[in-house]
Structure 1
Amino acid sequence: MPISLNVAVASFNYFDALFKYTKQNTVLLMNEKGIITEVNNAFTNSFGYTNDEIIGKEFKILFTPEDQKKGLPETEIDTVLQEGQCKDNTYLVHKNETITWVSGESILVKNLNGEISILKIIQDIHTQKTYENFSRRLHDFNENILKSIEDVIIVVNEEMKINKVNDAFFKLFTGDEADINSLNFADIIKPYDSNDDLRNSLQQAIKTGTGFLHKEIEITTISEGKKMFDISCRIVDGIEQKNGLLVLHDITAQIQSQRQREDIIGFVAHELRNPLANIVLCNEIMGETLNENNITESQELLARSKSNVMRLSKMIADLYDATKVGSGTLQLEKAVFNFEEMINEAVDTIKALQPFYRISVKGHANIDVHGDRYRLIQVVTNYLSNGIKYSEGNAEVVLNMDYDNKDVTVYVKDAGLGIKKDQLPYIFNRFYRAEKTKNLEGIGLGLYLCSQIIKAHNGRIWAESEEGKGSTFYFSIPILHFVN
C-alpha cells in the first residue's frame, strides 16, 4: 500500500538504542507487508522464539486465531502506513501457545538507506490486566451480593454523605433510584426516622468511632408503613476518612409472631382454666358423694367431668393441628372413599354426642372422592357442632350435600345467633370469634382448621349469615369419579 504523503516518517536512528538495548520493552521490526525482519533480545526472551525461528515469518502469527479471522494484523499495518502510528491493546501468542495481554505501539520509521519499516514496541501488561479483570469481577460479585441481600445496606462518611446503598434501600425509603451518592443521609432518612433514633445513633457511632449492634428502631417506610428494624453499625476505614456501614434487618414479622405467641399462651391459659377447675371441683364433690353412697349424683358428676375432659381434649387437638398448619407440617393421608358414607359417619358421631338435637340430612352424594377421610369428618363434625352450639335451643340443624360433574358441595344450616355482616370475612381466621359467641366455649380454631383442611384439598370454603336468623357454612371439593 502506498504511503500517504501526509504521514510523518520517523528516523530510525532515534530508535536504534531502544531496539538494541532495551530490556523492559519487547521490540520487533517488520516491513510494509508485515514480514518480521528483526527482533530484540527482550522479544526472544519473552516469546520463546529464536531469531532464526521468527525472522522472515509473518507478523500475524503472534495473533490469536480469533484475531487473525477478524483481520486485526492487516488493520494494524494499514493504520500505520496511513497515519504513521497505531496503538492497541490485545492478546499475543507465545511460541508455547500461551497468550499474554500486551499494550502495543507501532511506528512507521525510515532507516539510513531511506527504506520504510514498521517498528512495533510491545509492553507486557498481562499482570496489570489480570488484576484489573479480577478487580472488575470482584466488584461485580460484590454488587450482585448487595443486590441479592434483602437487608438494607447503607455506607456513609463522617459528614453523613452517602457513599453506597443497595437496592433494598430504594424499595423501603425512596422510590427514586437516581444517583444519591454524596447526598446527606440525615436529610434523606428524616421523613422516615420520626424520632431521629437512627440519625442520632449513627452520628454518635461515627463521632466516637465505635459501632453498635442490634438496636431495635421503628422506621416508617415508603411502601409498607411502620416497621421495626434490627440495626447494626460498623465503623470501617475509608480512603480518606472513616465510614459507617449500616445494616437494617426487618424484624417486624418476627416481633409480631412473638407477640402472637404470647397472646396465644395467655389466651389458651385462660380458656383451659375453666374446664380444669370444673374437673377438680367434680372430683372433690364425687369423693364426698361416694362416701355418702349417693350413686346418682356421682354419675352426674362423672358425666360432667367427662364433658369437661372432652372439651380439654378438643382444645388441645385443635391447638396441635393449628401448630402443624402454621409450620406447614399438616399432612393429608389421602385415599379414595365414598363421600356420602363419610358424611353419614360424621352425622352419627354428632348424634351420639348430642342425642337431643335433630340433624336433618338432605341430598345425596354417592360418589368417590380422593382425600383425607378423617380430616373431612373433622370439618363436617365442626360444622354440625357449631350449628348446634350457636342454635340457641333450636333443636334442628340441616345438612345438605349435592354434586355436579366437577365438585361435591356440603352446607350446614342453623337458625341460631347469626353473624354480623362486617364480621363475616374474618370467621375463618385463626383465634377469631364473632362478638356474640365470645361467651360460649371454644378458642376460635375450629373454622380456621376447617378452612386449611379444605384448601389442602384444593377446595372452597365460605359462609352466609344474617344476624339473628342463623348461618349457613359451605365447602366444596373436587370429585374423583362417579360410582356406578
Structure 2
Amino acid sequence: MILIVDDSPENIISLKKVLEKNGFEVDTALSGEEALRKILKKSYVLIILDVQMPGMDGFEVAEAITGYSKAKETAIIFLSAASANVNLITRSYSSGGLDYISKPVDMNILLLKVKTFYRIYEQSRALHEMQIELRKEIEFRKEAEQKKDEFISVASHELKTPMTTIKGYIQLLERSLDTNNMDVVKNRLHKVQNQVEKLNLLIADLLDISKIESGKLQFNKKYFSFDQLIDQIIEPMQQANPGVKIIKKNKINEDVYGDEMRLEQVIINFISNAIKYAPETAEIVINSEVRGNEIYFSVQDYGIGMTEEHRQKIFEKFYRIEETSSRFQGLGIGLYICQEIIDRHLGKLGVNSKLHEGSEFYFQIPLHPEKVEN
C-alpha cells in the first residue's frame, strides 16, 4: 500500500487517481500528524511525502518515522514545489528519503519510480524469505549432522558391548572345558548365544535403516493367521523372560493381509521394549482385536512411561530419551523402522503413555488393504 501525504486535497486526488488506475492500493493523509497516526497502525511499501506542510513538514515526518519498526522497510519519495537546490536535496536524503521529485509532478516519471520501488520491495521481501528458509535449512543440516554423529557413537558402543561380552565368555568357556564341568559350559554357551542374538538384532536394524534410506526395504505380503503369529512370538519370549508374565487378551479369528515377517518384527520390538523399559513390572498385557475393518494390536506395560514431549518424538529416527539412555541400550532406530513397516501396511502406529505409569504401544492395519488402496 502507498501513503500519499499532502496538505492539498487537489494534489492528493490527482495522485491517488493515477496510482489506483495503475493497480496500486492507496491511502492518504492531509497532514504530518495524521500520517504518523496511520503509520503507527498500518504498514506501507511507499510513502509519497510533501515537503512543505503546515505544522510538521515532510522532513520532520520522515525523521520521526525512522525509528518505527513498521516503517523501517518503507521507501519515501519527497515532493516539493520549491526549486531543487543542493541543501534541499541533501536534507531529503539525510531525513530518510530515497528519492526526490519536484512539482508539478510528471506522472510518467512518478509511476516509473513507484514501480521501481515496488519491484525492489518485492525482491527484498523474496530475498528475506529466502534467507529465513536458508537459515532453517542450515539449522536442519547441523541438527542432522549432529544426530548422525551421535548415532555413529551410540552404534559403535552398542556393537562393541556384546562383542566384548562374547569374547569374555569364550575365554571363560576355554577354562570350563579344562575342568570338564558341562553345566558351567552349557550356562556360558547360553549366555554367548544371547549376546550373539543381541548382536544379530542390532545388525538387522542397521541393515533395515539402510534399506529404508535407499527405498529398498522389501515386503512380501499375503494372508496369514495373525493369532497364530502372536502365539509363536509369545512362547519363546515368555521362556526367555520368566520373571515377567505375558498376558494375552482376545483372539483374532480372521486372516490378515500383510508381510508376516515384518509385522512379527514390529510385535517383537513392542514386547521387547515393554520388558526392557519396565524392569520392575510383573506383567505386560498384549491385546489384539478386530475394530471395524481394522486389526488393532497393542502392548501395555506398567514401567517408567514417558512425558508428552518424548511421546511426540519417540518414533523419530535416532531419537533416544536422554534420561534413560545410560540405563537402557539401543540405537534409537527400532521404533522408526516399526513406523516405516506400519506405514507400508497403510496403517497407523502410536503410543499412549504417562510418566511413571507405563506405556501402551499400538498399531492399526486394515484387514483388507486392497479396498483401502482402491
**TM-score band w.r.t. shorter chain:** 0.5 to 0.7
Residue of structure 1 equivalent to 2:233: 346
1:220-259 equivalences in 2 (<5 Å): 221-228=131-138
- Residue 291 (structure 1) aligned with residue 178 (structure 2): yes
AA matched with 2:258: G
1:266-277 equivalences in 2 (<5 Å): 266-277=153-164
Give the distance between the partners of 2:214 and 2:144, measured in 1 at CA: 12
- Residue 422 (structure 1) aligned with residue 315 (structure 2): no
State the structure with bigger RCO (CA 8 A, min sep 6), 1 or 2: 2
* Pairing partner for 1:335 from 195, 218, 222: 222
Alpha-carbon offset, residue 421 of structure 1 = 2.1
AA matched with 1:395: A
How many residue pairs end up in the alignment? 251
Q: 1:266 to 1:478 in 2, by over 3 A?
A: same
Alpha-carbon offset, residue 253 of structure 1 = 6.7
The alignment yields a C-alpha RMSD, in angstroms, of 2.9
1:42-441 equivalences in 2 (<5 Å): 179-180=119-120, 221-228=131-138, 260-438=147-325, 439-441=327-329
* Pairing partner for 1:465 from 345, 350, 353: 353
AA matched with 2:313: Y
**Identical aligned pairs, as a percentage?**
32
TM-superposition CA deviations, 1:208-234 (whole Å, max 9, x none): xxxxxxxxxxx9713453545xxxxxx
TM-superposition CA deviations, 1:264-322 (whole Å, max 9, x none): 32221121111111111111122122223333333222222211111111100011111
5+ residue gaps, structure 1:
1-175, 193-218, 229-251
Give the distance between the partners of 2:170 and 2:238, measured in 1 at CA: 28
Contact 2:147 2:318 in 1 (8 A): no
TM-superposition CA deviations, 1:221-264 (whole Å, max 9, x none): 13453545xxxxxxxxxxxxxxxxxxxxxxx8777655554443
Partner secondary structure for residue 349 of structure 2: strand
Q: 1:356 to 1:220 in 2, by over 3 A?
A: same
Alpha-carbon offset, residue 434 of structure 1 = 2.1
TM-superposition CA deviations, 1:406-456 (whole Å, max 9, x none): 111011101111112221111111222224431112212221111111111
Give the distance between the partners of 2:331 and 2:155, measured in 1 at CA: 7
Give the distance between the partners of 2:293 and 2:117, measured in 1 at CA: 50
Give the distance between the partners of 1:416 and 1:315, measured in 2 at CA: 23
Residue of structure 2 equivalent to 1:476: 364
Partner secondary structure for residue 308 of structure 2: coil
Partner secondary structure for residue 225 of structure 1: helix
1:22-41 equivalences in 2 (<5 Å): none
Give the distance between the partners of 1:325 and 1:450, measured in 2 at CA: 11
Give the distance between the partners of 1:405 and 1:478, measured in 2 at CA: 9
Structure whose residues are more often strand by fraction: 1
Contact 1:220 1:226 in 2 (8 A): no
Larger radius of gyration: 1
Give the distance between the partners of 1:260 and 1:473, measured in 2 at CA: 24
Please give the TM-score of this superposition, normalised by the length of structure 1.
0.48
Contact 1:220 1:227 in 2 (8 A): no
Partner secondary structure for residue 302 of structure 2: coil
Partner secondary structure for residue 295 of structure 2: strand
TM-superposition CA deviations, 1:327-366 (whole Å, max 9, x none): 2211211001122222222222422432443211111211
Structure whose residues are more often helix by fraction: 2
Residue of structure 1 equivalent to 2:100: none
Give the distance between the partners of 1:374 and 1:363, measured in 2 at CA: 22
5+ residue gaps, structure 2:
1-115, 370-374
Partner secondary structure for residue 229 of structure 2: helix
Contact 1:221 1:227 in 2 (8 A): no
Give the distance between the partners of 2:247 and 2:330, measured in 1 at CA: 24
Give the distance between the partners of 2:323 and 2:288, measured in 1 at CA: 28
Q: 1:467 to 1:222 in 2, by over 3 A?
A: closer
Residue of structure 1 equivalent to 2:344: 456
Give the distance between the partners of 1:266 and 1:177, measured in 2 at CA: 53
